[in-house]
Chains A and B, each alone.
Chain A
Amino acid sequence: MVLADLGNQISSALANMSNSTIINEETIDTLLKEVGNALSRADVSLKLIIQMRKNIKEQLKLDAMAAGLNKRRIIKKVVFDELIKLLDPGVAPWKPTKGKSNIIMFVGLQGAGKTTSVTKLASFYKRKGWATAMVCADTFRAGAFDQLKHNATKAKIPFYGSDTDRDPVAVAKKGVDIFKKDGAEIIIVDTSGRHKQEEELFKEMKEIETVVKPDNVIFVMDSSIGQAAFDQATAFKNSVSVGSVIITKMDGNSKGGGAISAVAATKSPIIFIGTGEHIPDLDLFDASSFVSKLLGMGDVKGMMNM
């Protein structure tokens, strides 16, 4: 995972600042520019970067009043806090309830990794002892039914889908009803990939949401996504009630800034990251431990001792 690079770049920008003797408007601007570049290289939305730089500057103005406090320490803390704010929407992640059917619906752009992550998540809950099932409501993509069916067989998880019924709403409803009756505790519904420019497909997604009544909608996003992330994620959020985010393909070389944009757009926490193509390649995500890792614990401690 390369998000750590971002942490390194930011840490070194902060270190450079410590070495320069005077701290004035100019040093702060240089620092903010370097932090901004690091975030930009990681694909964080430019809007967010500008906002963050503004926030930091305002914070610093306020804190500058506090007499006797070490300026460098304050600057570091403000930068760290703003970073944490970007990754942590301050909402507790949704948790399934025992003894009922919890319905989870997956949505996202084409090829983001929904179908793969559906199986990974189902398998995660199965390992934890939940009665789990999967429904394929992607009746559009060629081979989608077979893809989830193969995965279901591999993971030994019950599965519903149809290779003749072309109506995703009907298939979703039927599958969910069947597994509810069976007493499944976790029912995960996979849907087709779509994007905001296709109104019809967004309407279809809402219809599926209406009939399956999900307890949680998970937005899946590819970690390599660039500046389009924010607008696309916002459109999904505005259309269905997204409650969580999964970021996929973190085993690649991308710095995952799209993740930050998705959190900002959906105001939903990242719950898992995908780290490979195999079923166990799913890691739990915790924003605060992630950020401290990102910035290196040493730095946080060092900051406190200054």
Chain B
Amino acid sequence: FMKYFQTLTGSRTIDNNDLEPILQKLKSHLTSKNVALDIAEKLVDSVGQSLQGKKLSTFQGVNSVVKQAMEEAVTRILTPKKTIDILRDVQAVRGTRPYTIVFSGVNGVGKSTNLAKICYWLTAHGYKVMMAACDTFRSGAIEQLKTHAERLNVEVFERGYGKDAASIAGEAIDYARATNHDVVLIDTTGRMQNNEPLMRALSKLVNQNTIDLVLFVGEALVGNDGVDQLVKFDKSLSLLADSTQTKVRTIDGIILTKFDTIDDKVGAAISMVYSTGHPIIFLGTGQNYTDLKRMNVKVVVKSLLN
């Protein structure tokens, strides 16, 4: 009888045989919630290691200990190490020069739409915002931006299709300075992370101009590829960085879009933040201007683990 009592509640140490099946199940659970497999494996391993040899306190099952450790781990991952306060940063340079934000990412993730949402948000805070149409490739990209600009009553700087995006961005920033704009939002062409020439072109746009904030726009729908996208965008920004630069240019933050399409399959948030450590600044939750939300870490962690 004593033995039975002990396995149920007793203060004994956790061993591998107890842990392994629970961890395997947890891994499958995370994968079904759309966490990339490699990330799910790493998470489960680190939780397993942290519990190895730990004592179970009375009335505590291994299951709940594992769950709690995982909850803490993902909460830690999703809680930003440094906060990016766009409003504060815009305010800091206001009157001296325009604050510049680049929207980057693979094709069709929602760069232009979420640029328009940010424009709406900044305008609502009283800033004079301008858009720069630097997607000079995709059919209709400029008209798309113009439509948003008209609705939001802001100016668009454009030089038509087929031109060099990096120089247009530069001209746009100069124009914004001359016209006393507080912020320039720079739209870019969608590109695949494995397309080296296009990644170089993005790096040029960012490094050739004074860019305050480089945002990576990714969609919550993405599966295992999300990690690769983010890592490659991060890396390629330093492709053309000049060697005298002291700070290596990386992505500064993430906008995770289409969060309204995934129910509780929130795993992409974990995969993306885990792989680079960059914070999720906003969630895109729809196609309207107000569908831009701060991430509630608690809610996301809850959907992930339930």
Contact = CB atoms under 8 A, between A and B. Distances in A.
Partners in one complex: yes
Contacts of A195: 258, 260-261
B265 A143 contact: no
A222 B108 contact: yes
Given A146-B144, A227-B32, A222 B194 contact: no
A232 B261 contact: yes
B96 interface: no
Contacts of B223: 43, 224-227, 229, 254, 257-258
Interface stretch (B4-12, B120-128, B134-142): B134-142
Interface stretch (B33-41, B52-60, B80-88, B274-282): B33-41
A207 to B, nearest CB: 19
A224 B268 CA distance: 12
A227 B31 contact: yes
Most buried by B among A41, A151, A154, A255: A41
Given A141-B144, A154-B139, A277-B138, A226 B224 contact: yes
A37 interface: yes
Nearest to B220: A228
A143 B147 contact: yes
Interface in A95-139: 109-113
B201 interface: no
A224 B222 contact: yes
Nearest to B41: A37
A119 B48 CA distance: 51
Interface residues of B, number: 50
A189 B146 CA distance: 25
Given A143-B141, A150-B140, A225-B222, A110 B32 contact: no
Given A110-B287, A142-B148, A254-B224, A197 B140 contact: no
A77 B296 CA distance: 48
B194 A253 contact: yes
Interface string A239-272: 0000000000101111101100000000000000
Contacts of A222: 108, 221
A253 B192 contact: yes
B72 interface: no
A147 B140 contact: yes
B283 interface: no
A20 B29 CA distance: 30
Contact of B265 (A140, A145, A228, A255): A228
A253 B193 contact: yes
Contacts of B194: 252-253
A229 B223 CA distance: 9
Contacts of B145: 142-143
B279 to A, nearest CB: 21
Contacts, number: 142
Nearest to A40: B37
B110 A254 contact: no
Contacts of A28: none
Interface string B105-130: 01111101100100000000000000
A109 B31 contact: no
A246 to B, nearest CB: 14
A13 to B, nearest CB: 15
A111 B6 CA distance: 56
Interface in B175-199: 192-195
Nearest to A37: B37
A264 B143 CA distance: 38
A46 interface: yes
A177 interface: no
A41 B193 contact: no
A147 to B, nearest CB: 3
Given A225-B222, A227-B267, A41 B261 contact: no
Nearest to B111: A111
Contacts of B106: 224, 249, 252
Interface in A190-226: 195-198, 222, 224-226
B158 interface: no
B228 interface: yes
Given A147-B144, A277-B138, A228 B37 contact: no
A29 interface: no
B153 to A, nearest CB: 15
A188 interface: no
Contact of B31 (A46, A231, A253): A46
Given A111-B107, A151-B139, 20 more contacts: A141-B287, A143-B142, A146-B139, A147-B139, A147-B144, A197-B260, A197-B261, A222-B108, A224-B221, A225-B221, A225-B223, A226-B34, A227-B265, A249-B108, A251-B195, A253-B192, A253-B228, A254-B224, A254-B225, A255-B225
19 contacts: A41-B224, A46-B31, A111-B107, A111-B219, A112-B108, A142-B148, A143-B146, A147-B138, A147-B140, A147-B143, A149-B140, A224-B226, A225-B223, A226-B223, A226-B265, A231-B263, A249-B106, A249-B108, A253-B193
